[in-house]
């Protein structure tokens, strides 16, 4: 299957990268896949929460189930989880739902996983807070599971999901053991939701060279821990896409490596005269698990993880100073031109943020098309201005190199003079391009201030201020280099372009200030 009994995990914590910011991963499973618009709406509800990053979306039509992985600070992740559940409750009717995968709810299961700077206890508390909100505000029965379970018999997801939606409908009110932890003891068309905290897991499926599902079920019984198989393995035998499948959750890949699981399946399959056709991951997997499998199969007994090229490159990148450190260093580059480009890129990023906070809101439906186009333009300008940070530094370095050329003979003097003139022109053209792009960002900032989400109007005005600073700084660099240019005709033409940018910026700033006063009450 391309979804899972539970869900899957993410590789944010791979490579032992130390992150100071608290990060929680959430991997909710929703009972929908055959209506892409429903999945998209749920994903949008998650993505709209500031600070949250959607990492993966995986849908399976046979199971009629989708899994969305996202991560961020605990408070933001909790809010995104609640919004996703609310959207699922609004759009999914389990009375009409059919699929291979066991389920009891529209938002079937919502686990929180500690990634960095948070403990399992923190995730347990987060699960309880979100569960309480779902029960009280949405009127949905909530069961807590895994580390958040309020009683031992609710630690296992399969036990809570026994009988699925149809069975729980009749049992929830009649059986005291089926009473929810939060919410009413009755089921509506959105069913119930299971919320909890757990360690990372890998959702992994193996397809066999047969359509006989009973063989997959026998293999699943042989490998899963609950029926005497491998520790930390949960497994089901299913028929997916006309092929027998062993569907698994590996809940501790360090204690039970993925290669060991595959080889046991291979051996069991051989007993029935079949083999492994192919396998698949559902969602994301820690790099460590793949490295471990590669080491096992390749028999790299002396392998050291630091032999991985990408790890060395990542370590080198992390040890390099960031832009602000480089800017503060006692070197001529990067300098004011690069800083101006950096400011312009930051302005474009803020414009993109306001556009995203506007898109998908009913209140701003009339400007949906405008904001989509604006977002695309802002992201293009952000990339171009970000590239200009290095381009400006390279232009200055080329100018300094030209000044260092030999000048002992008339020919050398001529070549040196020509190189200096060409490098000076480039050193003026690069910041001029930054100035022109900054005016474009300023125009986009004016639009988001005028039509974007009112709650983000200060962010839009900050974008305008940063774009103006980028233009001003770039202008200083243009003028400094044009003063040294011998070709005064070219210098004057570039100055005309710069003055035109400054004139347009002045008008845009005046209009933005008027809008701020009228629409936001900011003067």
Region of residue 64 (phi > 0: left; psi between -120 and 50: alpha; otherwise: beta): left
Residues labelled as active-site residues: 101
Q: How many Å apart are CA 456 and CA 342, to the nearest integer?
A: 22
Span 255-280, mean pLDDT?
A: 96
DSSP conformational letter for 518: I
Q: How far apart are CA 207 and CA 196, in angstroms?
A: 30
Nearest CA to 514 out of 429, 457, 455, 430 is that of 457
Closest Cα partner for 51 from 83, 14, 86, 21? 21
Question: Rounded to an integer, what distance in angstroms lies between the CA atom of residue 205 and that of residue 91?
Answer: 29
Report how far residue 20's alpha carbon sits from residue 1's, in angstroms, rounded to the nearest whole number.
36
The model's pLDDT over 63-112, given as tens digits with 9 standing for 90+, comes to 888 999 999 999 999 999 999 999 999 999 998 888 878 899 999 999 99
- Cα 435 to chain centroid, rounded: 31
**What's the mean pLDDT when you consider all of the chain?**
89
Would the pLDDT of 173 be above 50? yes
Q: Is the predicted pLDDT of residue 132 greater than 60, yes or no?
A: yes
pLDDT at 414: 93
Q: What is the DSSP letter of 381?
A: H
Centroid of chain to Cα 385: 23
Burial of 163 (0-12, 13-18, 19+ CB in 10 A): middle
pLDDT single digits (tens) 491-512: 999 999 999 999 999 999 999 9
Using a pLDDT cut of 70, give the percent of the chain over it.
94
Rounded Cα distance, 458 and 512, in Å: 11
What does the pLDDT average to over 274-300? Answer: 90
Rounded CA-CA distance 200/108 in Å is 18
Q: What is the pLDDT of residue 363?
A: 92
Q: Residue 315 has what pLDDT?
A: 65
pLDDT in tens, 204-247: 999 999 999 999 999 999 999 999 999 999 999 999 889 999 99
Nearest to 373 by CA among 463, 467, 452: 452
Q: 273 is written with which tokens?
A: 């005269």
Residue with tokens 């190189």: 419
Q: What's the rounded Cα separation, in Å, for the pair 237 and 248?
A: 9
């Amino acid at each position: 299957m391309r979804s899972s009994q539970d869900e899957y995990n993410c590789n944010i914590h791979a490579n032992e990268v130390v992150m100071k910011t608290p990060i929680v991963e959430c991997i909710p499973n929703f009972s929908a896949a055959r209506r892409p618009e429903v999945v998209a709406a749920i994903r949008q509800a998650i993505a709209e929460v500031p600070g949250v990053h959607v990492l993966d979306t995986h849908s399976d039509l046979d199971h009629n189930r989708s899994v969305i992985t996202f991560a961020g600070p605990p408070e933001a992740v909790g809010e995104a989880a609640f919004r996703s559940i609310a959207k699922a409750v609004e759009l999914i009717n389990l009375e009409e739902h059919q699929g291979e995968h066991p389920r009891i709810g529209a938002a079937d299961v919502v686990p929180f996983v500690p990634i960095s700077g948070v403990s399992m206890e923190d995730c347990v508390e987060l699960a309880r807070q979100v569960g309480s909100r779902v029960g009280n505000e949405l009127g949905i029965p909530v069961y807590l599971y895994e580390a958040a379970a309020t009683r031992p018999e609710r630690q296992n997801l399969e036990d809570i999901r026994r009988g699925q939606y149809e069975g729980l409908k009749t049992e929830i009110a009649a059986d005291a053991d089926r009473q929810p932890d939060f919410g009413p003891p009755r089921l509506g068309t959105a069913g119930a939701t299971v919320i909890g905290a757990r360690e990372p897991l890998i959702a992994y499926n193996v397809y066999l060279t047969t359509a006989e599902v009973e063989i997959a079920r026998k293999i699943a019984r042989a490998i899963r821990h609950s029926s005497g198989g491998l520790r930390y393995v949960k497994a089901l035998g299913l028929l997916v896409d006309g092929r027998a499948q062993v569907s698994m959750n590996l809940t501790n890949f360090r204690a039970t490596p993925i290669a060991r699981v595959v080889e046991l399946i291979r051996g069991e399959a051989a007993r029935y005269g079949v083999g492994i056709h192919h396998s698949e991951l559902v969602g994301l997997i820690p790099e460590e698990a793949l490295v471990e499998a590669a080491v096992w199969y390749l028999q790299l007994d002396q392998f050291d993880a630091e032999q991985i090229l990408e790890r060395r490159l990542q370590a080198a990148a992390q040890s390099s100073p960031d832009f602000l450190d480089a800017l503060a260093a006692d070197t001529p580059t990067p300098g004011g031109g690069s800083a101006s480009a950096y400011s312009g890129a930051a302005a474009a990023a803020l414009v993109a943020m306001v556009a995203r906070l506007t898109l998908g809101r009913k209140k701003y439906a009339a400007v949906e098309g405008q904001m989509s186009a604006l977002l695309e333009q802002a992201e293009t300008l952000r990339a171009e201005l970000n590239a200009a940070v290095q381009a400006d530094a390279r232009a200055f370095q080329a100018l300094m190199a030209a000044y260092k050329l030999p000048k002992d003979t008339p020919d050398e003097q001529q070549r040196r003079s020509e190189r200096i003139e060409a490098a000076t022109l480039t050193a003026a053209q690069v910041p001029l391009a930054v100035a022109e792009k900054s005016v474009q960002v300023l125009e986009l900032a004016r639009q988001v201030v005028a039509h974007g989400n009112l709650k983000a109007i200060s962010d839009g005005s900050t974008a305008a201020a940063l774009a103006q600073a980028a233009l001003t700084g770039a202008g200083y660099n243009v003028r400094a280099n044009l003063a040294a240019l011998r070709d005064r005709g070219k210098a004057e033409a570039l100055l005309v372009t710069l003055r035109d940018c400054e004139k347009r910026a002045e008008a845009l700033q005046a209009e933005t200030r008027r809008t701020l006063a009228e629409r936001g009450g900011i003067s």
